[in-house]
Amino acid sequence: MKHTLLLASTGALVGLLSAFVGLPALVERILWAIIYVLWVFYALRVNLEMPVRRLAFTSTMAALLASSAQVLFMEQYKANNPWYADFFESNSVQELATDLLVRGIAFGVVCGVVVGLLVRWRQGSQAD
């Protein structure tokens, strides 16, 4: 459980950064990629059991925390991310909040499964 809490907290960090500092899409993707690479090293170091299931859940939680922070601080998020102005103007606040949460959850599930499979593969090749 402590691994899940530790890794999922990175999502809150990304969400708060994007809300209060502003992260262009490319920068946010690069940040997530760096975080997930660090997750792989961490999971291999602690020899995480059931890595696909655990990392899919953890990644979903991280993405949910990130998107929840963006929704919770919507006004700051809009002000600090002007490159999304067209998207903000074309959607109501409720649609925007729903979209952020749904995209975050989907992103978290997909990335978590990929990272989990990578960790499981590396664990298998280290055992040989």
pLDDT digits (tens, 9 = 90+) for 55-95: 999 999 999 999 999 999 998 988 998 888 787 788 788 88
In one-letter notation, the amino acid at residue 118 is: L
Average pLDDT over residues 27-50: 94
Query: What is the pLDDT confidence band of residue 50, given thresholds at 50, 70 and 90?
Result: very high
Question: Residue 125: helix, strand or coil by DSSP?
Answer: helix
Check pLDDT > 80 for residue 126. Answer: no
- Which residue carries 């209060």 as its tokens? 20
Task: List the chain domain ranges.
Answer: 2-127
CA nearest to 11, candidates 61, 74, 52, 79:
61
